[in-house]
Copies of this chain bind each other. A is one copy, B any other.
Amino acid sequence: MTEVETTGAWLSREDLDNARERLPILYVHAIPVRADDKGVVTHIGLLLRADSDGGIGQEVVGGRVLYHEKVRDALMRHIETDLGPVALPRIPLSPQPFTVAEFFPTPGVTPFHDPRQHAVSLAFVVTVMGDCRPQKDALDLSWVTPEEAATIASGPEMSGSHGVLVRQALAHVGYPV
């Protein structure tokens, strides 16, 4: 859940750090997928990123919703930021997320953990139709089958939080987790 916002920030870094200690921060996450013409998910896109603590791990797309930004716009912005400008995402028609992931700064309160903040994320599965390339802080983007994603999501390559999100997304699209 790395987030680098050099432009478009509504808060200074200091103010944001301050708010993060006192308010839940609204996030969106997108599990990027490829699907066949019947809507069956064939591949999941996983980003390889350096952790803040020096390790590397697989993640899905996500980040903060800004002041006066719609959830759809935040989804679009983070997908473009992470997968590039021609990913051509099919943003979901309904505002209903498949789940709400509550990241707590204290481990173990929920299945989701973020040491920096209390973040509450609306999670969506999003088909991307175009070319995707890892941007900026992402080292690689790999497309794996649902079977492979289910395995990776339970393993050490993926943080507990992002692994849980991926497996809950797989369950939502009908895959046997």
Contact = CB atoms under 8 A, between A and B. Distances in A.
Contact of A73 (B38, B95, B118): B38
Interface residues of A, number: 62
Contact of A167 (B19, B111, B171): B171
B109 A70 contact: yes
A59 interface: no
Contacts of A93: 33, 35, 39, 41, 125, 127, 173
A139 interface: no
A65 interface: yes
A127 B90 contact: yes
B171 A172 contact: yes
Given A95-B102, A95-B174, A111-B176, 9 more contacts: A38-B73, A39-B90, A90-B90, A90-B127, A94-B99, A168-B174, A168-B177, A171-B171, A172-B172
Q: Which 9 A-B pairs have the closest CB atoms?
A: A39-B91, A171-B171, A111-B176, A95-B100, A164-B176, A168-B171, A38-B72, A95-B174, A24-B26
